[in-house]
Structures are given as structure tokens and as C-alpha cells.
């Protein structure tokens, strides 16, 4: 099976995760997809294929060498983002892309415009997989899964390529920050791993945000508006005041590179009670701590003005910058960088403005840089992926495995 057919099969599975179910995996479609993959991994000849009750799927490509070399791992996630529609995906392939706008949906006049997404023009002449403009595509991270499976199938079919033991792992619920919750690092047994979960071709990342979530709840007092003078306390107005106290330009839409932010992800409210949900991000650990303190400081200011317990802040750390754990074994980044060059890819070593399973896994004892999967515009209806980028990612996995066997 070629990688295009494999990918298109994978995106037919509805695997949107849901942070509100308190289940693992959080949605049944992820387990159905994992069961399909379990059968596929066995059929192509992988060994030690094991799917556990939480939807974590692991398998082994045995070494074909006499000497012991490091055990490598490759990891991708089963779920797609809950931030966009992920059901009934209708992909299509734009062959020999001409570098112009792409009409995704003629009936609804949905167009992928090069003026908004100019990076697509670098793929002129390639084959681009797009959506119909109604759903996300699912390249995040079904492209990563397809590339890993494709590479394993190739290595099994070409035993002349010498390699050590390779472990692969597919995880649920990465998109809701729970992908590493039940990942058994000891059972996985790799010396290090790579997540295939980046975006455009060439990306290689071993720095990511420190991350926390925050919920601020505001209490009010409802009174008939005709008799509310000096009595009503409108929690929604207090919530808006709090939101406006945060730095207005320290938001995702105003920041880039190493700049952190506060991101208001959702809000709801009545006169009596309102909530604001935030994520807090910064690459620098000290600035990250200061951002969390600022959230509490502003809650204290609200309480000083409107009364004790008007604002209640709940905050939870989500993951940390993997750089701390990867730098002591920086040779694993160098291996990926060298392998990229050998297959004709220009490495783009840069920080992730987000996080992956690899961030948490690195702090669990499995150093885990992130490599491109090839897609663009993740989580939205203008998501796309060049077929040639998936092919190169597959070639890169094979080259990393080959080079690791030669160098270590």
C-alpha cells in the first residue's frame, strides 16, 4: 500500500478527543482506530503488537544485527483536535498543484487562499491532500502514524538495511493533553524516541512551551434589574474586567518564536456565575512562573475591589520544556539533523509553539524530540498536506534507523 492510500484510510476514522468524558481513550473512535492499526501492524509483520485497555498501541521491529545498538522509538497520536469538526472527512488530492488558490468546496465557495496561507506556494508541482472545507483533515497526527507504519513495512521488506530494535507507539488523547498519562515508558523500552507530530517538512524541535491551564470563576449576585441599584453584582462584567487587566498584546495572535502568552480559550456566564478558561505558555521557566503569579495577582485585585472569594483561580501545570531533558543527549537531535540532510531535507531546528507527547515523555525518562509529519493549518478546515512531504518523512525514519545502527 502506498502512503497516500494508507493516510486516506486512516482519516476515514473519526477520532476526535473529548476532555469532558474522563475516559481513556476519551472517545470510542480512537479505540476503533487503534484496533484497526493493531491488525494492520500484525499483518505487515511487526512483533510484540499490544493494544492495552486505555488505547495505547505498541509494537516491535526486531533487530536484524548481531551487535547491540540503541533501541529507537517512533511515536504518534491517534486522536484529532476537538477544536474543529473531525467527522465525515472528505479529502481530495490536488495533483501537480499550480501554486494558485484552491477551491475546496464549489457549492459553499470555500477557498484555500494563497494570500492567507502563502506557505502552500512552496509546494507548487506537488500533490496536495486537502479537505472539502467542512472539517479538519486529520494530518495531525494520522500523517505521523502513516509515515511510521510505512517505514516499518519498508524495513521489513528490505532486510538488507541493517537496523537495531525499533519500537513504535501510538497514543490516545494527545490533543487534550493526556497522551502520556498511561504511557508505560519501561515497557516501551526505547533508549530515546521521536514523535512524528510536527508541521512542515524539515521541522526538528526539542524545545517547547512550559504550559499550564487556568480557570477563573467569578461570583455575582442577581437582582431584578428594575431594583438592582447598589445591589446587583454582575459576574460577567467582573469577568470582562479581569480579562482586560491581562496584557492585551501577550496573546497568541500577537506573539511568535520564543514569546509567551495568555490565551482565553472559552468563557461562559450568567449574572450569578461566570468562568474564564485560559492556557498559559512560555518557553522560559522563570517567565512561565511569573505569568502564573500574575493570574493570581489579578484575582486578588478583583477580590480586593468586589469582596473576598469573588474570583477563584484554579491552575494546573500541563507540561514543561523538554529542552532540559534533551540537551544532555543532544546527539539524538544531531542524528535526526544529519539524517535529514542525507535524504535531501534542509533541517529547520526551532522551538515548538505548543507541546507534544514528547514533552511529557522526556520528563518521564524517554528523551523525545519532535520531527515534522508534513501537514499545515492543523485543527482547521484549511488543513492540508503534500504527499511528497509524507514520503520524505517516511524516508527520514528509515534513514534515522539505518544511521543509528551505524553510529552507535
Active site members? 79, 174
Residues 322, 357: Cα–Cα separation, whole Å: 10
Residue 307 backbone zone (phi > 0: left; psi -120 to 50: alpha; other: beta): left
3-class SS string, 135-148: CCCCHHHHHHHHHH
164 closest CA partner among 254, 96, 233, 70: 70
Query: CA geometry: angle at 251 spanning 255 and 276, to 5°?
Result: 160
Q: CA-CA distance, 300 to 303, in Å (whole number)?
A: 5
- Helical pair 387-407 and 3-10, crossing angle rounded to 10 deg: 110
d(CA 186, CA 174): 20
Three-state secondary structure call for residue 371? strand
Contact 57, 169 (CB under 8 A): yes
Amino acid at each position: 500500500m502506498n502512503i497516500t492510500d494508507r493516510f486516506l484510510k486512516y482519516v476515514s476514522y473519526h477520532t476526535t478527543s473529548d476532555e469532558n468524558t474522563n475516559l481513556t481513550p476519551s472517545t470510542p473512535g480512537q479505540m476503533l482506530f487503534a484496533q484497526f492499526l493493531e491488525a494492520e501492524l500484525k499483518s505487515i509483520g511487526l512483533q510484540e503488537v499490544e493494544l492495552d485497555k486505555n488505547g495505547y498501541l505498541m509494537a516491535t521491529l526486531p533487530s536484524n544485527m548481531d551487535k547491540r545498538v540503541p533501541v529507537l522509538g517512533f511515536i504518534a497520536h491517534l486522536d484529532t483536535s476537538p477544536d474543529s469538526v473531525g467527522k465525515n472527512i472528505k479529502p481530495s488530492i490536488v495533483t501537480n498543484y499550480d501554486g494558485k488558490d484552491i477551491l475546496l468546496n464549489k457549492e459553499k465557495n470555500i477557498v484555500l487562499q494563497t494570500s492567507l496561507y502563502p506557505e502552500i506556494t512552496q509546494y507548487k508541482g506537488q500533490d496536495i491532500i486537502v479537505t472539502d472545507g467542512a472539517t479538519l483533515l486529520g494530518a495531525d497526527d494520522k500523517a505521523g502514524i502513516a509515515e511510521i507504519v510505512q517505514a516499518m513495512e519498508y524495513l521489513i521488506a528490505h532486510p538488507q538495511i541493517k537496523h537495531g530494535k525499533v519500537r513504535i507507539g501510538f497514543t490516545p488523547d494527545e490533543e487534550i493533553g493526556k497522551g502520556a498519562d498511561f504511557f508505560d515508558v519501561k515497557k516501551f523500552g526505547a533508549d530515546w524516541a521521536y514523535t512524528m507530530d510536527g508541521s512542515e517538512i524539515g521541522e526538528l524541535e526539542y524545545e517547547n512551551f512550559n504550559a499550564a491551564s487556568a480557570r477563573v470563576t467569578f461570583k455575582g449576585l442577581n437582582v431584578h434589574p428594575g431594583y438592582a441599584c447598589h445591589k446587583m453584582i454582575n459576574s460577567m462584567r467582573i469577568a470582562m474586567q479581569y480579562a482586560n487587566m491581562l496584557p492585551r498584546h501577550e496573546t497568541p495572535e500577537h506573539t511568535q518564536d520564543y514569546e509567551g502568552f495568555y490565551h482565553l480559550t472559552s468563557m461562559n456566564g450568567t449574572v450569578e456565575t461566570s468562568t474564564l478558561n485560559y492556557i498559559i505558555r512560555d518557553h522560559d521557566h522563570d517567565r512561565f512562573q511569573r505569568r502564573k503569579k500574575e493570574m493570581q495577582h489579578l484575582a486578588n485585585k478583583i477580590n480586593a475591589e468586589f469582596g473576598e472569594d469573588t474570583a477563584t483561580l484554579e491552575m494546573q501545570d500541563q507540561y514543561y520544556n523538554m529542552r532540559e531533558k534533551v540537551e544532555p543527549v543532544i546527539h539524538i537531535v544531531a542524528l535526526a539533523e544529519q539524517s535529514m540532510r542525507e535524504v535531501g531535507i534542509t533541517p529547520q531546528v526551532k522551538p515548538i509553539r505548543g507541546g507534544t507527547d514528547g514533552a511529557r515523555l522526556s520528563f518521564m525518562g524517554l528523551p523525545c524530540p519532535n520531527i515534522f509529519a508534513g501537514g499545515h493549518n492543523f485543527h482547521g478546515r484549511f488543513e492540508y498536506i503534500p504527499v511528497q512531504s509524507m514520503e520524505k518523512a517516511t524516508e527520514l525514519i528509515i534513514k534515522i534507523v539505518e544511521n543509528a545502527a551505524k553510529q552507535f
